[in-house]
Amino acid sequence: MHCRLGLLYIMSRFLPILFLVLTPLFGYVQGESFSFANLPELDEELGPDFFARNRQKLRDTMPDSVIVAVFSAPKKRRSNDIDYPFHQDTDFYYFTGVREPNAMVLIFKTPKQINGEWVSEVLFVEDKDPKKEQWSGRMMGLDGAKEVSAISMVLPNHQFKTLDLPLDSIDYIYRNKTDQIERDDKTDAGDLMSLTKHLNRKALQSEKPVKIDEAEDLFGFVRQTKSEEEIRMLEQAIDITCMAHTEAMKNIKPGMTEYQVEALIAYTFRKNGADGEAFPSIVASGKNGGIMHYTSNSSLLIPGDMVVMDIGAQYQGYAADVTRTVPVSGVFSEEQKIIYQLVLDAQTVAIRYATPGYKFWTPHEEAVRTIGKGLIKHGIIKKWSDIGDYFIHGTSHYLGLDVHDTGIYSALQPGEVITVEPGIYIPEGSPCDPKWWNIYVRIEDDILITDGPARVLSSSAPKTISEIESLMSSSDNGVNQ
Domains of the chain, first to last: 48-222 (3.40.350.10), 226-474 (3.90.230.10)
Q: Whole-prediction pTM value?
A: 0.89
Instruction: Tell me, rounded to whole angstroms, the distance of Cα 238 from its chain centroid.
Output: 11
Q: Indicate if 404 belongs to the active site.
A: yes
Single out the catalytic residue among 174, 259, 425, 440.
425
Helix axes 48-61, 141-149, angle to 10 degrees: 70
Decide: helix, strand or coil at residue 305.
Answer: coil
Q: Indicate if 310 belongs to the active site.
A: yes
Question: Is 263:21 a contact under the CB 8 Å cutoff?
Answer: yes
Distance CA 112, CA 120 (A): 6
Question: Is 88:72 a contact under the CB 8 Å cutoff?
Answer: yes
Q: Indicate if 49 belongs to the active site.
A: no
pLDDT of res. 313: 98
Among residues 422, 317, 324, 295, the alpha carbon closest in space to that of 371 is found at 422
Q: Indicate if 425 belongs to the active site.
A: yes
Helix (H) or strand (E) holding 442: strand 439-442
Single out the catalytic residue among 53, 201, 404, 409.
404
Question: Is 462:324 a contact under the CB 8 Å cutoff?
Answer: yes
CB atoms within 10 A of CB 219: 23
Q: Please measure the distance between the N-terminal and C-terminal CA atoms of the chain and give it in whole angstroms.
A: 50
CB atoms within 10 A of CB 209: 11
pLDDT of res. 329: 97
Burial class for 261, CB neighbours closer than 10 Å (0-12, 13-18, 19+): buried
Among residues 103, 180, 96, 93, the alpha carbon closest in space to that of 139 is found at 103
Among residues 160, 155, 142, the alpha carbon closest in space to that of 197 is found at 160
Per-residue pLDDT of the chain (481 residues; tens, 9 = 90+): 443 334 433 444 444 444 444 444 444 444 344 444 454 565 567 999 999 999 999 999 999 999 999 999 998 889 998 989 999 999 999 999 999 999 999 999 999 999 999 999 999 999 999 999 999 899 999 999 999 999 999 999 999 999 999 999 999 999 998 765 555 445 567 889 889 999 999 999 888 889 999 999 999 999 999 999 999 999 999 999 999 999 999 999 999 999 999 999 999 999 999 999 999 999 999 999 999 999 999 999 999 999 999 999 999 999 999 999 999 999 999 999 999 999 999 999 999 999 999 999 999 999 999 999 999 999 999 999 999 999 999 999 999 999 999 999 999 999 999 999 999 999 999 999 999 999 999 999 999 999 999 999 999 999 999 999 999 998 655 444 3
Residues in a beta bridge with 313: 277
Q: Indicate if 393 belongs to the active site.
A: yes
Q: Indicate if 334 belongs to the active site.
A: no
Distance CA 297, CA 284 (A): 6
Q: Indicate if 446 belongs to the active site.
A: no
AA letter at 38: N
Q: Indicate if 421 belongs to the active site.
A: yes
Question: Is 203:210 a contact under the CB 8 Å cutoff?
Answer: yes
- Strand ordering across the sheet containing 322-327: 282-285, 306-311, 322-327
CA angle 262, 241, 225 (to 5 degrees): 135
pLDDT of res. 41: 60
Residues in a beta bridge with 200: none
Q: Indicate if 91 belongs to the active site.
A: no
Single out the catalytic residue among 53, 77, 201, 393.
393
Single out the catalytic residue among 158, 175, 324, 397.
397
